[in-house]
């Protein structure tokens, strides 16, 4: 049939066409497979290293392990700052879809304050999204249990056990110890980011800040393998962190406690120094505050209360307070008079209650209106006669007063191991010319000699000056810390004595004379601090001071009652004991305490009792 024949012809043609198409297809297949192979070679050979790195980064991550902070002990080994395990609730923002909503949900299980959220948000801005950030610290056991039950509802939220700084003595010695707090933005800029990787807290004030580097230790690392969900599968490598050094203070917590209790309800400061070493045995500034809430960020209301309080509890009076020394300056000026040979033990001055310069109408008054009569230097110290000192100051002149007192550390920072202390002010001709562009007037010499005028000192400076006097001129720098200890090692590393200078002695008798005069302040019937001499089991050399407060700030004018309170004189007292073998030098200042002898001196007495008698008992 024609039809079949046609089909047969077609069949041959079709086969031919089909076969050629199959060849084309075969070539096409080979080309496409070759393209795939080329792509594979590019990925697996040419870019192999690149992808190997990415694959490593995928699975291996380096996690910092923060070091344990060093402990702080007092001189008897009592713990002042420690690390306690504490549970905190931490979030990894990267793993949470909606952080705000999650926090809202957490709020229903665990109390989270607005302050916690604010702190968290602040931290979130500067940390990377995969880092774990604390939302709440110090969860109690009930909270831990309540959250753990619902853990599965909160991916990316975890309860972590951390070591938290704790100050077992609360507010005691807060101005010496200071405290740690969460690292803030400004600190982040200056500190070594690598070393603080993983560390959340840093020393903010006091010893905690000054010895931050030692206390912090060195960060460790853990190389971990994790899966896509961030679950840690195993630790590949570990470099353990090096814990911070332990620190031992000269501070005696019992003496400190005595000092703070004695200052209870007052505004003031006590600094007690170990005469032989310069070690700071007590450093009290009252009122104080509890540092523990500061560790995890104090809430703003409590902080405002502390910051705005008229009693200024946050202010470290012991090193930052600037007080006119008043009559506590007299032993130093008197000693200058003796050493410069302007006066001697027998020189007498007639005190009629006031003093006048030649060609000057102004009467420089004595605190005792009726005057002291004829007084020697000994009596001028014992009874604190101002007229004698007006006369002496004039003889010495401001230059020699300045020169001599400088040796005791006045007018310069003491170098105590806390930051932020004031240098006070020991006025001189040069200072006045530079600061006030004025010449020095003789009248200013007179009031400088009795510790008024431009003169200001901090309690630490007064204490160091007193210790230097007790040491017969050996000027030792005050130190809160006496030794450090590398963690895990038993041996203590002692800090060397810090000899700042030696007051040149002309005649040792002059110093003996001044010491005996100061002794009579306490131990004679006419001494201004005779009240504390009663029943004392050792000898005390002391000097009272009552400093006038001036320079009323304009804003204080409104509050009549407070204004009057703040106008009252400051009460001061410096002393050391025992005289024969000096152990402790003390400086006490009670703001607006009015009487050095009856307000400040008893505080020094209990502090010395606590130290000297306590030491004998111990």
Q: Which residues contact another protein (rule: CB under 8 A)?
A: 6-7, 10-11, 13-15, 17-19, 21-22, 25-26, 29-30, 32-33, 35-37, 39-41, 43-45, 47-48, 50-52, 54-55, 58-59, 225-229, 233
Distance CA 119, CA 184 (A): 10
Smaller CB separation from another protein, 36 or 145: 36
Smaller CB separation from another protein, 33 or 101: 33
Distance CA 95, CA 166 (A): 31
The residue from 132, 327, 414, 428 that is catalytic is 327
Minimum CB distance to another protein, residue 236 (Å): 12
Distance CA 506, CA 472 (A): 11
Bridge-based pairing of strands 363-365 and 354-356 is antiparallel
Rg, Å, the chain Cα set: 37
Distance CA 148, CA 136 (A): 14
Contact 250, 280 (CB under 8 A): yes
Q: CA–CA distance from 329 to each of 124, 316, 451 (Å)?
A: 54, 22, 5
Torsion of CA 453, 457, 459, 465, to 10 degrees: -110
Q: CA–CA distance from 81 to each of 171, 177, 291, 466, 611 (Å)?
A: 12, 8, 11, 30, 22
Smaller CB separation from another protein, 149 or 228: 228
Minimum CB distance to another protein, residue 25 (Å): 6
Minimum CB distance to another protein, residue 235 (Å): 15
Minimum CB distance to another protein, residue 133 (Å): 19
Q: CA–CA distance from 272 to each of 278, 464, 604 (Å)?
A: 9, 9, 9
Minimum CB distance to another protein, residue 4 (Å): 12
Indicate if 520 belongs to the active site.
no
Distance CA 169, CA 252 (A): 12
Smaller CB separation from another protein, 36 or 492: 36
Minimum CB distance to another protein, residue 188 (Å): 27
Distance CA 236, CA 220 (A): 14
Q: Which residues contact 597 (CB under 8 A, 6 or more apart)?
A: 528, 529, 530, 531, 544, 573
Distance CA 493, CA 484 (A): 5
Which positions are annotated as active-site residues?
Answer: 327
């Amino acid at each position: 049939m024609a039809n079949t024949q046609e089909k047969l012809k077609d069949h041959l043609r079709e086969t031919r066409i089909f076969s050629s198409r199959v060849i084309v297809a075969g070539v096409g297949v080979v080309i496409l497979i070759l393209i795939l192979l080329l792509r594979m070679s590019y990925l697996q050979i040419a870019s192999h290293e690149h992808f190997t790195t990415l694959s490593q980064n995928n699975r291996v991550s380096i996690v910092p392990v923060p070091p344990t902070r060093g402990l702080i002990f007092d001189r008897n080994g009592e713990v002042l700052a420690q690390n306690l395990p504490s549970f905190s609730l931490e979030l990894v923002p990267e793993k949470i879809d909606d952080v705000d909503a999650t926090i809202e949900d957490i709020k229903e299980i665990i109390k989270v304050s607005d302050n916690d959220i604010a702190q968290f948000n602040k931290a979130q801005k500067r940390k990377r999204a995969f880092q774990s950030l604390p939302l709440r610290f110090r969860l109690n056991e009930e909270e831990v249990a309540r959250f753990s039950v619902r853990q599965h509802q909160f991916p990316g939220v975890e309860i972590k056990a951390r070591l938290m700084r704790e100050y077992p003595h609360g507010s005691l010695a807060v101005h010496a110890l200071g405290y740690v707090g969460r690292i803030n933005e400004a600190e982040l800029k200056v500190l070594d980011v690598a070393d603080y990787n993983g560390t959340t807290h840093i020393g903010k004030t006091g010893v905690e800040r000054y010895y931050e580097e030692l206390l912090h230790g060195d960060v460790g690392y853990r190389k971990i393998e994790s899966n896509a969900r961030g679950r840690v599968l195993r630790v590949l490598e570990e470099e353990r962190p090096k814990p911070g050094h332990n620190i031992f203070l000269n501070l005696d917590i019992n003496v400190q406690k005595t000092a703070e209790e004695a200052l209870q309800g007052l505004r003031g400061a006590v600094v007690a120094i170990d005469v032989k070493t310069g070690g700071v045995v007590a450093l009290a500034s009252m009122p104080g505050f509890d540092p523990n809430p500061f560790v995890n960020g104090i809430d703003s209301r409590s902080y405002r209360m502390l910051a705005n309080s008229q009693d200024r509890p946050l202010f470290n009076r012991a090193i930052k307070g600037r007080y006119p020394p008043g009559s506590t300056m007299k032993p130093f000026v008197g000693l200058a008079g003796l050493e410069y040979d302007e006066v001697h033990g027998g020189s007498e001055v007639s005190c009629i209650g006031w003093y006048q310069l030649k060609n000057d109408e102004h009467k420089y008054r004595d605190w005792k209106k009726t005057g002291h009569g004829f007084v020697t230097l000994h009596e001028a110290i014992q009874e604190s006669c101002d007229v004698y000192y007006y006369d002496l100051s004039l003889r010495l002149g401001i230059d020699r007063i300045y020169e001599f007192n400088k040796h005791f550390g006045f007018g310069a920072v003491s170098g105590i191991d806390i930051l932020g202390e004031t240098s006070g002010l020991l006025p001189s001709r040069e200072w006045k010319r530079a600061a006030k562009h004025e010449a020095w007037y003789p009248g200013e010499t007179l009031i400088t000699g009795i510790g008024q005028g431009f003169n200001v000192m901090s309690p630490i400076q007064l204490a160091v000056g007193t210790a230097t006097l007790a040491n017969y001129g050996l000027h030792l720098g005050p130190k809160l810390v006496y030794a450090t200890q590398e963690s895990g090692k038993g041996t203590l590393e002692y800090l060397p004595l810090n000899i700042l200078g030696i007051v040149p002695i002309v005649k040792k008798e002059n110093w003996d004379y001044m010491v005996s005069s100061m002794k009579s302040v306490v131990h004679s019937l006419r001494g201004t601090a005779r009240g504390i001499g009663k029943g004392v089991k050792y000898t005390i050399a002391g000097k009272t001071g009552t400093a006038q407060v001036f320079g009323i700030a304009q804003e204080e004018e409104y509050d009549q009652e407070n204004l009057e309170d703040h106008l009252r004189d400051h009460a001061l007292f410096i002393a050391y004991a025992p005289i024969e073998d000096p152990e402790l030098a003390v400086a006490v200042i009670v703001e607006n305490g009015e009487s050095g002898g009856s307000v400040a001196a008893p505080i020094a007495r209990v502090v010395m009792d606590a130290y000297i008698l306590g030491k004998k008992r111990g």
